[in-house]
Structure 1
Amino acid sequence: MTSHRILIITLELLVCVIHPVGSYWEMAIHVNSSSFSSSPLCASHHDSKPLQNLELLLSMLMFLRLYLVHRTILLHSKVLLSASYRSIGSLNNINFTFRFVLKVLMNKHPARTLLVFILFFWLTASWMLTLCERKTQASTGYMDTALWLIAITFLTVGYGDVAPNTSCGKGVCLFTGVMGVACTAMLVAIVTEKLALNKGEKHVHFFMLDIQISKRIRHAAANVLRECWLLHRTSLTKAHRGEHRRHQRCLLEAIRVFRHLRLKQRKLRDYVSEMVDLPKVTWQPAGVECCIDSKCSSSPP
């Protein structure tokens, strides 16, 4: 065994050993009759603040056992259990870690994976906030209030009707806000990907755009010819100089519109040709390698 593996096993044993003692906590008997919320989970009638802080610290450190969740996902994943995945991955030097499995899940089921993570984080953060706030006997020590506070903090709304009282609770709310911003960014990326056009839809859309631009180019070319004829007709008569200058301006404007549409059509066709040629460029090295391998195998020794 390597030193790194021994260190990992030691850390795992330390994380699994952590457990609060719970010998100096008593269930709270007094409940405010004017409140319709559920009673706090537990409260302390002792004044031993070091023991209370130790209890709180051990209770928070117990959440380090959540590393077992990613191990469970990894061991029960179809990616890891599939022989075809493992054989192809070994040929391409791919390590089947939790990061790879998470990428596969986000690629196949992005909305479902993000929803499960948000619900799991919401319940976990609410329970952590309840642990931090239970000794203050405030409204945030109740589970329903903690669920509301974590939800509005995660959504970056912040009504201000409820606020944490302890430093631990403020830290949980701060971390919840950061995770809310990150999940919002992931949600925007997922929605953008769902609303984006696929390859066939893009080809149809760009084809119709090209037809529309071609029609506008023909109309612009006709306008250029018309203004040229009108300018030529007014140039024959010297009396209408104002009309001659007006037709000059109209001709220059028609030429500008014609050039702008031609440039727009050229950019659109270049973009479409890049979309078509990109898969060919991507698969070209693989074809060259196969050709080289076939030539090497067919050549005499």
Structure 2
Amino acid sequence: MIIENELTFSHINNHETIASWSIKIVISLSTLILIGFIIEYHRLDISLYAINNSIEDFRVAITYERIFFVLAEIIICAVHPMPRAFPGHSNTLSVDTSSDDSTITSHPLSYASVDVALGLPMFLRLYLVWRFIMFHSHLFRDTSSRSVGYLNRVSIDYFFLIKTYLEQWPIVCLTVFCIIVFLVGSWSLRACSYSSTNEHLTMQNTMWLFVITFTTVGYGDFTPSTYCGRTIAAMIALVGVLSTALLISVLAQKLVMNRWEKYVNNFVLNVELSKERKLHAANVIKYAFKVWGMKKRNIPKSSIRYFQAQRRLFQSIHSLHQVKQQQGQLVDNCVDQIDLIAAQRHTGTQTCEITEELKMMKLNMLRMERKLVTINVNINNAINNMQETLNTLLN
């Protein structure tokens, strides 16, 4: 599609050539083949859905939502620049080539070439690349991963894979996405923007226009000349804002220290705070003895030396309290969600062990109680036998 439009752009007054007409024939044939593959794909998808859900008649699985998505996909893939009349050799092409530049009138804002209007929607077919990536992903092809997902009510689909790849390779994903948007947006601006001589802007100028629009700077040296170009520029600006937000979130995630780095940092800060705490504690003792010595020497409280010692004593006490608060905050910041989960798990394990020990102790106590009862019975029997024996002897 891009080659066909570039051939048309290079021709005088954007007239269609035999080469561009032949490329349109190829595009139309490939579009028919693609639509056939899409229909076959959805047929197999419905059949697999019916098998997985034990549905005998596959027509039960055909819902209005599925019909809507299938028709939308077919329409998206069906839009393409179609070949029109076979271009013939014309002798009138060079009639107006020698006219003055003053007779050239710029295109109106509503102008849009038919081939460009039908060719730009073909970029929507890039979603097929993501479908190809999904079907070749190990998460999608691995039976165990999908089983775990179904058990946890997590569907391994497009959005799940996007989140997974952004979590694993955020910089690579953003870089690839920005490069694709940059190339597609630059060429789209070239196809819809014209200079004062009704020629398409060069690729270098549209790249610069894309950059200043994507970054929302907008110097104004190049502007879209048609509604089509303005629409594309607005879409580029929105994508630029979203990409900037994603970039900031990725950078913030990369700059956050992990668990072990946080532990090392907190350990170093704790050592420094411990040194400061000892220093301020020593100053408290030092200036307290100094104030006490001044009182013993009967130095008047209105003297400058007494005021200085007392002020330094209060400053040391205040600094000591601040260091203690910082140490407490450091301990609180060191404890994260993983530590809480580990502590909860350890506490649960200890609780189970203590419960088992209490059960064993209860059983042992019951056994001891039974033995004590048996011993008591034996002692009573022995006492009774002894009394009977003594009575017999006395008699």
Give the TM-score normalised by the residue count of structure 1.
0.78
Determine the structure 1 residue equivalent to 2:78.
Answer: 17
Work out whether residues 140 and 163 of structure 1, in 8 Å CA contact, stay in contact via their aligned partners in 2: no
Q: 1 CA distance for matches of 2:85 and 2:311?
A: 92
Structure 1 residue 50, shift from structure 2 partner? 8.7
Within a 5 Å distance, the mapping from 1:33-182 to structure 2 comes to: 52=112, 54-134=114-194, 137=197, 141-182=201-242
Partner of 2:315, secondary structure, is helix
Alignment pair present for 1:198 and 2:258? yes
Q: 2 CA distance for matches of 1:72 and 1:286?
A: 46
Q: 1 CA distance for matches of 2:109 and 2:223?
A: 22
- Closer, same or farther: CA 93–133 of 1 in aligned 2, 3 Å: same
Structure 1 residue 225, shift from structure 2 partner? 0.8
Alignment pair present for 1:246 and 2:282? no
Gaps of at least 5 residues in structure 2 are: 1-61, 88-92, 98-104, 354-395
RMSD: 3.5
Alignment pair present for 1:261 and 2:293? no
Aligned residues: 275
Amino acid at match of 1:127: W
Q: 1 CA distance for matches of 2:149 and 2:83?
A: 48
Work out whether residues 22 and 55 of structure 1, in 8 Å CA contact, stay in contact via their aligned partners in 2: no
Percent of matched pairs sharing the same residue? 30
Q: 1 CA distance for matches of 2:173 and 2:233?
A: 23
Structure 1 residue 96, shift from structure 2 partner? 1.0
Moved more, 62-71 or 209-218: 62-71
Q: 2 CA distance for matches of 1:155 and 1:197?
A: 29
Determine the structure 2 residue equivalent to 1:211.
Answer: 271
Q: 1 CA distance for matches of 2:146 and 2:317?
A: 62
Work out whether residues 140 and 164 of structure 1, in 8 Å CA contact, stay in contact via their aligned partners in 2: no
Amino acid at match of 1:81: R
Alignment pair present for 1:6 and 2:67? yes
Work out whether residues 140 and 146 of structure 1, in 8 Å CA contact, stay in contact via their aligned partners in 2: no
Output one character per residue of 1:24-46: Cα deviation in whole Å (capped at 9) or x when no partner.
899x9999xxxxxxxxxxxxx9x
Q: 2 CA distance for matches of 1:117 and 1:155?
A: 15
Moved more, 85-94 or 63-72: 63-72
Partner of 2:193, secondary structure, is helix
Work out whether residues 192 and 228 of structure 2, in 8 Å CA contact, stay in contact via their aligned partners in 1: yes
Structure 1 residue 118, shift from structure 2 partner? 0.5
- Closer, same or farther: CA 98–274 of 1 in aligned 2, 3 Å: closer
Output one character per residue of 1:235-254: Cα deviation in whole Å (capped at 9) or x when no partner.
23234622212222111111
Work out whether residues 139 and 145 of structure 1, in 8 Å CA contact, stay in contact via their aligned partners in 2: no
Rg larger in structure = 2
- Closer, same or farther: CA 192–50 of 1 in aligned 2, 3 Å: closer
Q: 2 CA distance for matches of 1:283 and 1:23?
A: 72
Partner of 1:248, secondary structure, is helix
- Closer, same or farther: CA 136–24 of 1 in aligned 2, 3 Å: farther
Give the TM-score normalised by the residue count of structure 2.
0.61
Structure 1 residue 48, shift from structure 2 partner? 12
Structure 1 residue 188, shift from structure 2 partner? 2.5
Output one character per residue of 1:121-152: Cα deviation in whole Å (capped at 9) or x when no partner.
01111121122125975576322221221123
Structure 1 residue 157, shift from structure 2 partner? 3.7
Q: 2 CA distance for matches of 1:50 and 1:215?
A: 74
